[in-house]
Protein backbone atom coordinates (compact mmCIF):
# COMPACT_ATOMS: atom_id res chain seq x y z
CA UNK A 1 0.00 0.00 0.00
CA UNK A 2 1.21 3.47 -0.87
CA UNK A 3 2.45 5.50 2.18
CA UNK A 4 -0.15 8.21 1.51
CA UNK A 5 -2.94 5.61 1.62
CA UNK A 6 -1.53 4.16 4.86
CA UNK A 7 -1.52 7.61 6.48
CA UNK A 8 -5.10 8.25 5.32
CA UNK A 9 -6.17 4.86 6.68
CA UNK A 10 -4.46 5.54 10.03
CA UNK A 11 -6.22 8.92 10.24
CA UNK A 12 -9.59 7.21 9.56
CA UNK A 13 -8.86 4.65 12.27
CA UNK A 14 -7.90 7.38 14.77
CA UNK A 15 -11.32 8.95 14.18
CA UNK A 16 -13.13 5.70 15.10
CA UNK A 17 -14.63 5.06 18.52
CA UNK A 18 -12.53 1.97 19.35
CA UNK A 19 -12.91 -0.05 22.54
CA UNK A 20 -11.09 -3.03 23.96
CA UNK A 21 -13.21 -5.97 25.09
CA UNK A 22 -12.12 -6.41 28.70
CA UNK A 23 -13.43 -8.93 31.25
CA UNK A 24 -16.27 -6.69 32.44
CA UNK A 25 -17.44 -6.02 28.87
CA UNK A 26 -17.30 -9.69 27.80
CA UNK A 27 -19.28 -10.66 30.91
CA UNK A 28 -22.00 -8.19 29.87
CA UNK A 29 -21.94 -9.57 26.30
CA UNK A 30 -22.23 -13.16 27.56
CA UNK A 31 -25.12 -12.24 29.88
CA UNK A 32 -26.85 -10.55 26.94
CA UNK A 33 -26.20 -13.60 24.75
CA UNK A 34 -28.10 -15.83 27.19
CA UNK A 35 -30.99 -13.29 27.30
CA UNK A 36 -31.08 -13.35 23.48
CA UNK A 37 -30.98 -17.16 23.45
CA UNK A 38 -33.95 -17.31 25.87
CA UNK A 39 -35.94 -14.74 23.88
CA UNK A 40 -35.14 -16.61 20.64
CA UNK A 41 -36.49 -19.88 22.13
CA UNK A 42 -39.64 -18.17 23.42
CA UNK A 43 -40.40 -16.51 20.08
CA UNK A 44 -39.90 -19.82 18.24
CA UNK A 45 -42.42 -21.41 20.64
CA UNK A 46 -44.97 -18.65 20.03
CA UNK A 47 -44.71 -18.33 16.30
CA UNK A 48 -43.05 -21.44 14.94
CA UNK A 49 -40.71 -19.19 12.94
CA UNK A 50 -36.97 -19.38 12.71
CA UNK A 51 -36.53 -17.03 15.65
CA UNK A 52 -34.38 -13.95 16.05
CA UNK A 53 -31.11 -13.47 14.19
CA UNK A 54 -27.93 -13.64 16.26
CA UNK A 55 -27.18 -9.96 16.95
CA UNK A 56 -24.06 -8.70 15.20
CA UNK A 57 -23.19 -6.69 18.30
CA UNK A 58 -22.75 -9.92 20.25
CA UNK A 59 -20.80 -11.77 17.56
CA UNK A 60 -18.53 -8.77 16.98
CA UNK A 61 -17.66 -8.34 20.65
CA UNK A 62 -17.06 -12.08 21.11
CA UNK A 63 -14.84 -12.26 18.00
CA UNK A 64 -12.88 -9.20 19.10
CA UNK A 65 -12.40 -10.68 22.57
CA UNK A 66 -11.17 -14.00 21.15
CA UNK A 67 -8.87 -12.42 18.52
CA UNK A 68 -7.67 -9.45 20.61
CA UNK A 69 -9.16 -6.86 18.24
CA UNK A 70 -10.65 -3.45 19.03
CA UNK A 71 -14.38 -3.00 18.44
CA UNK A 72 -15.41 -0.04 16.30
CA UNK A 73 -18.45 1.23 18.24
CA UNK A 74 -19.51 3.67 15.52
CA UNK A 75 -20.19 0.75 13.16
CA UNK A 76 -19.07 2.43 9.94
CA UNK A 77 -15.78 1.85 8.13
CA UNK A 78 -15.40 -1.67 9.48
CA UNK A 79 -16.49 -3.51 12.60
CA UNK A 80 -13.09 -3.79 14.28
CA UNK A 81 -9.42 -2.93 14.01
CA UNK A 82 -6.37 -5.14 14.41
CA UNK A 83 -3.63 -3.00 15.99
CA UNK A 84 -1.08 -5.81 16.41
CA UNK A 85 1.14 -3.79 14.02
CA UNK A 86 0.41 -0.11 14.84
CA UNK A 87 2.21 1.05 11.69
CA UNK A 88 -0.08 -1.13 9.53
CA UNK A 89 -3.43 -1.47 11.31
CA UNK A 90 -6.05 -3.65 9.65
CA UNK A 91 -9.72 -2.76 9.26
CA UNK A 92 -11.78 -5.87 9.99
CA UNK A 93 -15.26 -6.72 8.73
CA UNK A 94 -17.09 -9.30 10.88
CA UNK A 95 -19.96 -11.39 9.52
CA UNK A 96 -21.73 -14.08 11.46
CA UNK A 97 -24.25 -16.86 11.22
CA UNK A 98 -26.28 -18.85 13.70
CA UNK A 99 -28.26 -20.74 11.08
CA UNK A 100 -28.12 -24.51 11.16
CA UNK A 101 -28.00 -24.65 7.35
CA UNK A 102 -24.58 -23.88 5.87
CA UNK A 103 -26.30 -22.25 2.90
CA UNK A 104 -27.62 -19.32 4.97
CA UNK A 105 -26.55 -16.13 3.18
CA UNK A 106 -24.58 -13.19 4.51
CA UNK A 107 -24.99 -9.78 2.90
CA UNK A 108 -22.51 -7.03 2.14
CA UNK A 109 -23.06 -3.36 1.45
CA UNK A 110 -22.45 -1.98 -2.03
CA UNK A 111 -19.35 -0.16 -0.72
CA UNK A 112 -17.41 -2.45 1.62
CA UNK A 113 -13.76 -1.52 2.37
CA UNK A 114 -11.78 -3.76 4.73
CA UNK A 115 -8.46 -5.57 5.06
CA UNK A 116 -9.69 -8.89 6.46
CA UNK A 117 -13.04 -10.62 6.65
CA UNK A 118 -13.68 -12.46 9.91
CA UNK A 119 -16.48 -15.01 9.84
CA UNK A 120 -18.10 -16.27 13.03
CA UNK A 121 -20.34 -19.32 13.18
CA UNK A 122 -22.44 -19.82 16.30
CA UNK A 123 -23.18 -23.36 17.39
CA UNK A 124 -26.05 -22.35 19.63
CA UNK A 125 -26.75 -25.71 21.26
CA UNK A 126 -23.13 -26.01 22.41
CA UNK A 127 -22.76 -22.28 23.19
CA UNK A 128 -19.59 -21.95 21.15
CA UNK A 129 -18.45 -19.60 18.44
CA UNK A 130 -16.08 -20.73 15.68
CA UNK A 131 -14.07 -17.76 14.43
CA UNK A 132 -12.30 -17.66 11.05
CA UNK A 133 -9.86 -15.05 9.79
CA UNK A 134 -10.43 -15.64 6.10
CA UNK A 135 -7.63 -13.57 4.58
CA UNK A 136 -10.23 -12.08 2.22
CA UNK A 137 -10.12 -8.29 1.84
CA UNK A 138 -12.71 -6.11 0.09
CA UNK A 139 -10.86 -6.41 -3.25
CA UNK A 140 -10.71 -10.23 -3.17
CA UNK A 141 -14.35 -10.30 -2.07
CA UNK A 142 -15.37 -8.66 -5.36
CA UNK A 143 -14.32 -11.79 -7.29
CA UNK A 144 -16.65 -14.16 -5.44
CA UNK A 145 -19.54 -15.48 -7.54
CA UNK A 146 -22.94 -14.81 -5.98
CA UNK A 147 -24.86 -16.61 -8.72
CA UNK A 148 -24.22 -18.22 -12.11
CA UNK A 149 -23.64 -14.92 -13.90
CA UNK A 150 -22.62 -12.31 -11.30
CA UNK A 151 -19.83 -11.58 -8.85
CA UNK A 152 -19.94 -9.45 -5.71
CA UNK A 153 -18.43 -6.59 -7.77
CA UNK A 154 -21.19 -6.88 -10.40
CA UNK A 155 -23.93 -6.52 -7.80
CA UNK A 156 -22.09 -3.75 -5.93
CA UNK A 157 -21.81 -1.81 -9.22
CA UNK A 158 -25.62 -2.06 -9.48
CA UNK A 159 -25.97 -0.62 -5.97
CA UNK A 160 -27.24 -3.95 -4.65
CA UNK A 161 -26.33 -5.81 -1.46
CA UNK A 162 -24.58 -9.01 -2.60
CA UNK A 163 -25.67 -12.09 -0.65
CA UNK A 164 -23.92 -15.45 -0.47
CA UNK A 165 -23.01 -18.09 2.09
CA UNK A 166 -19.58 -17.33 3.57
CA UNK A 167 -19.63 -20.81 5.07
CA UNK A 168 -19.95 -22.42 1.63
CA UNK A 169 -18.14 -19.95 -0.65
CA UNK A 170 -15.14 -19.18 1.58
CA UNK A 171 -14.81 -21.49 4.60
CA UNK A 172 -15.65 -24.75 2.82
CA UNK A 173 -14.18 -23.92 -0.60
CA UNK A 174 -10.89 -22.76 0.97
CA UNK A 175 -10.86 -25.59 3.53
CA UNK A 176 -10.50 -23.16 6.45
CA UNK A 177 -10.29 -24.26 10.06
CA UNK A 178 -11.26 -21.88 12.88
CA UNK A 179 -8.51 -19.56 14.08
CA UNK A 180 -10.24 -19.53 17.45
CA UNK A 181 -13.12 -21.22 19.20
CA UNK A 182 -14.84 -19.22 21.93
CA UNK A 183 -16.66 -21.30 24.55
CA UNK A 184 -19.26 -18.77 25.60
CA UNK A 185 -20.45 -20.34 28.85
CA UNK A 186 -16.90 -20.79 30.22
CA UNK A 187 -15.43 -17.66 28.62
CA UNK A 188 -12.65 -19.94 27.32
CA UNK A 189 -10.73 -19.30 24.10
CA UNK A 190 -9.04 -22.06 22.14
CA UNK A 191 -6.67 -20.74 19.45
CA UNK A 192 -5.01 -22.77 16.72
pLDDT per residue over 7-19, tens digit each? 677 788 878 889 9
Q: Are 126 and 118 in contact (CB under 8 A)?
A: no
Q: Whole-number mean pLDDT of the chain?
A: 90
Contact call for residues 44 and 57 (beta carbons, < 8 A): no
Q: Which residue has the higher pLDDT, 5 or 23?
A: 23
d(CA 139, CA 148): 20
Q: Where are the domains of the chain?
A: 3-191
Decide if pLDDT at 4 tops 70.
no
The mean pLDDT value for 161-181 works out to 95
Q: Give the separation between CA 91 and CA 73, rounded to whole angstroms.
A: 13
Between CA 138 and CA 152 the distance in angstroms is 10
Amino acid sequence: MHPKHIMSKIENIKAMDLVSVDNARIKQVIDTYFHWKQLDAEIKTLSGTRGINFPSELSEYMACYALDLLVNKEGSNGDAVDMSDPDHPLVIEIKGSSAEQTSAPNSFSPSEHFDDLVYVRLEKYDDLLKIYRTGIDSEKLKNIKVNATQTVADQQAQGRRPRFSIQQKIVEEMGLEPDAVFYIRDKKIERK
